[in-house]
């Protein structure tokens, strides 16, 4: 082999060694920082909410978006669509299934569209205060989340959104007072409508946007709604009475579809769940304070609190108990009702 060939072979060998050395160096560096080798593809999750951005729900969801970005180093982006711009809950659920959006905040009515057992939480006068609700949720959340997740979703967090109350044109202290008035009901909540009908109430289906017009026209005399919504829609100008008794808890759930959740890197999931559930607890605290504030404000503008006595409360509870044999299995899930009832009996006895 002449001198020129030997020089060419040596140069080629040197280039090969340099290339191999460079690859090894990149691999070694990549062991400490994989993103130096492979850019993480950003995951974008579009989340729909019916709540206005100016409410505690809106503020909390914006904060959740910021915390998700921090937890994931910007690799998971949460885009929140407030104010119901994605449609009603039935529309949002359809879009969630089609992956047109990847997440949503649902009320009890929306969660009921996913798994009907959830409406049992809203059985009238069943769960009666914050303490009972906290105990029940502690014990049954795993079962409910399992039922939701079986349908192709992932339950990110639950939040209390206050209590449903009775607002009426005329005073209400016992069931008969309300049965003499025409009571508005959400057309999408067939189970609750059926429950009240069985108990003897005059139910009139009215969409939320038509409630004030229906009150002013005399089509309805009363509503069962969140005090926050009643204040926001100025309904208390007509429904000047609010019964002090709680009808049912008003719940919210943050749900993702499994398709989106599966795209989130496993390393980030625990941090995202922790942030979401912590913020959901903050929502519950904020709503409790907001509810107290709006009731105080409405009373300053003429709302009258119909303070129901312990004896009158028992009349309400007995009225529901008389209808429950018919409602179980038809309107509310029998097994879940019995499980919740057992939890409540233990809690009320101090166990």
Q: What is the pLDDT along the chain (351 residues), one digit of tens a residue?
A: 555 555 455 555 555 444 444 434 333 444 444 444 334 578 999 999 988 888 888 899 999 999 999 999 999 999 999 988 998 888 999 999 999 999 999 988 888 889 988 889 989 999 999 999 999 999 999 999 999 999 999 999 998 888 999 999 999 999 999 999 999 998 877 777 888 898 999 999 998 889 999 999 999 999 999 998 899 889 999 999 999 999 999 888 999 999 999 999 999 999 999 999 999 988 888 888 889 999 999 999 999 999 999 999 999 999 999 999 988 988 889 999 999 999 999 999 987
d(CA 64, CA 80): 9
- Residue 3 belongs to some domain of the structure: no
For residue 62, CA distances in Å to 54, 276, 277, 296, 343 come to 10, 11, 14, 28, 35
pLDDT at 208: 81
The pLDDT of residue 214 is: 96
What one-character DSSP code corresponds to residue 40? P
In whole angstroms, give the CA distance from residue 283 to residue 105. Answer: 12
The pTM of this model reads 0.80
Residue 8 domain flag: no
Spatial distance between the Cα atoms of 250 and 207, rounded to a whole number of angstroms? 18
Instruction: Evaluate whether 46 touches 79 at the Cβ level (below 8 Å).
Output: yes
- Which pLDDT score, from 0 to 100, does residue 257 have? 95
- The reply to whether 138 falls in a domain is yes
User: Does some domain include residue 11?
Assistant: no
C-alpha torsion sign, points 178, 179, 181, 184 = positive
The whole-number pLDDT of residue 88 equals: 86
Enter the tokens of residue 88.
């009603």
Q: How far is the C-alpha of 221 from the C-alpha of 239, rounded, in Å? A: 7
Residue 12, in any domain of the structure:
no
Count structural domains, the chain.
1
Q: What is the CATH number of the domain that holds 300?
A: 3.40.190.170
Domain that holds residue 137: 39-348
pLDDT given at position 95: 96
Task: Classify residue 36 by burial, with Cβ atoms within 10 Å: 0-12, 13-18, 19+.
Answer: exposed
Q: Output the pLDDT for position 285.
A: 84
**3-state DSSP call for residue 99?**
coil
Residues 6+ apart with CB under 8 A from 245: 125, 165, 166, 308, 313, 316
In the prediction, which pLDDT does 38 show?
37
Q: Tokens 């047109």 belong to which residue? A: 100
58 falls within a domain: yes
Which helix (H) or strand (E) covers residue 270, if one does? helix 269-300
Q: Which residue has the tokens 């303490």?
A: 131
Q: Is residue 327 part of a domain?
A: yes
pLDDT value for 250 = 85
For residue 135, tell me if it sits in a domain.
yes
């Amino acid at each position: 082999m002449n001198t020129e060939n030997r020089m060419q072979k040596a140069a080629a060998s040197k280039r090969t060694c340099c290339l191999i050395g460079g690859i090894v160096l990149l691999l070694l560096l990549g062991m400490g920082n994989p993103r130096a080798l492979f850019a993480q593809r950003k995951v974008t999750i579009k989340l729909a909410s019916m709540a206005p951005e100016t409410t505690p729900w809106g503020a909390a969801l914006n904060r959740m978006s910021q915390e998700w970005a921090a937890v994931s180093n910007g690799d998971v982006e949460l885009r929140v669509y407030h104010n119901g711009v994605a449609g009603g809950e039935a529309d949002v659920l359809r879009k969630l299934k089609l992956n047109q959006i990847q997440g949503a905040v649902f009320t009890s009515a929306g969660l009921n569209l996913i798994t009907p057992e959830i409406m049992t939480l809203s059985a009238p006068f069943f769960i009666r205060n914050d303490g009972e609700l906290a105990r029940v949720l502690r014990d049954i959340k795993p079962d409910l989340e399992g039922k939701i997740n079986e349908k192709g979703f992932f339950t990110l967090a639950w939040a209390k959104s206050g209590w449903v109350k009775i607002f009426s044109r005329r005073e209400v202290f016992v069931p008969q007072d309300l049965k003499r008035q025409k009571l508005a009901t959400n057309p999408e909540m067939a189970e609750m409508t059926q429950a009240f009908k069985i108990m003897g109430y005059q139910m009139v289906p009215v969409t939320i946007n038509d409630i004030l017009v229906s009150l002013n026209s005399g089509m309805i005399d009363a509503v069962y709604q969140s005090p926050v919504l009643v204040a926001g829609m100025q309904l208390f100008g007509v429904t000047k009475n609010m019964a002090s008794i709680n009808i049912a808890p008003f719940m919210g759930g943050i749900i993702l579809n499994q398709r989106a959740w599966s795209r989130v890197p496993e390393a980030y999931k625990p941090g995202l769940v922790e942030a979401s559930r912590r913020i959901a607890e903050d929502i519950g605290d904020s709503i409790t304070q907001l509810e107290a504030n709006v009731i105080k404000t409405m009373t300053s503008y003429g709302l009258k609190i119909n303070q129901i006595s312990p004896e009158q409360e028992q009349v309400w509870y007995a009225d529901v108990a008389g209808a429950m044999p018919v409602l179980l299995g038809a309107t509310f899930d029998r097994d879940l009702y019995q499980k919740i009832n057992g939890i409540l009996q233990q809690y009320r006895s101090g166990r």
